Amino acid sequence: MNTMREFGAAFGALAVSAVAHAGVVGFDEIPATTLTEWGDGVFASVGTVTANYAGFTWYGTQSQSAEGAPAHSVGVFRTGGFANGYSAGVTSGDQALFNAWGAEIRISRAERFNFAGAWFTAAWNAGLTLSFTGLRGGATVGSASVVLGAPTEAAWVGGLDGMADIDELRISSAGGSLFWTGGGGTGFVMDDFTFGAPVPVPGPGPLALGLVALAIVGRRRR
């Protein structure tokens, strides 16, 4: 029994329930048909997250193609059961997102959203640091960092400050020490990207407005 995974799943479900109109992006519908070497002579099928997938724009800051993912794209791969963080990072279905060349990824859309969380795994390094930046209209409204453990299982990362009512989320990675042989770098894997619509701030209800009106009438009568 994987107690950590079960705890994370329960926490993730709680986070989803707390977000209005929550949506989960699992990356399993994307064709992953390009066979590419995935370290230690292992090959995996790779695809690219399209610009408008699930209503979001997915952009990678890398300026060159890597592991079957074109420049400035965000990759998706189909797990092949190989022993590294890529395989460990698939938490639902059989595909997950990865950041080619360890580049920053930028997830955006015109409509504002809340980032509730996602499952993350370092591809190669233990102690990898993930940095999150939430933006609204191009201005930073929040930032947070999380250090991942050994890249042998996924960790739920959610409930970060400043990630609500945003229109862009940036995720970058750095540091750590090599854990798996056969590759290297600051790549990470993300699965089950969970988001929701911002919860509107309720205005004064009919009862409150009625009380205000009564107070005004009462004051006038004095």
Residue-level pLDDT at 209: 44
| HSE (side-chain half, CA atoms, 13 Å) at 132 | 22
Secondary structure (3-state) at 107: strand
Residue-level pLDDT at 51: 79
Predicted TM-score of the model (pTM): 0.79
- Note whether 100 and 48 are within 8 A (CB): no
Residue-level pLDDT at 101: 85
- Note whether 123 and 116 are within 8 A (CB): no
In a structure prediction context, what are the per-residue pLDDT tens digits for the chain, which is 222 residues long? 454 444 444 444 444 444 445 799 999 999 887 777 665 555 677 888 877 899 999 999 988 776 666 788 888 888 876 678 888 999 999 999 999 889 999 999 999 999 999 999 999 999 999 999 999 999 999 999 999 999 999 999 999 999 999 999 999 999 999 999 878 899 999 999 999 998 765 555 544 444 444 444 444 445
Q: Which fold has domain 3-221?
A: Jelly Rolls (2.60.120)
Which tokens belong to 127?
A: 């102690």
Residue-level pLDDT at 79: 80
Strand pairing class (129-136; 166-174) = antiparallel
Using CB atoms within 10 A of its CB, is residue 159 exposed (0-12), middle (13-18) or buried (19+)?
middle
Cα separation, 46 vs 31, in Å, equals 8
- Note whether 182 and 39 are within 8 A (CB): yes
Residue-level pLDDT at 4: 45
For the chain, counts of helices (H) and of strands (E): 3, 14
Secondary structure (3-state) at 14: helix
Q: Give how far Cα 49 sits from Cα of 17, 20, 53, Å.
A: 26, 25, 7
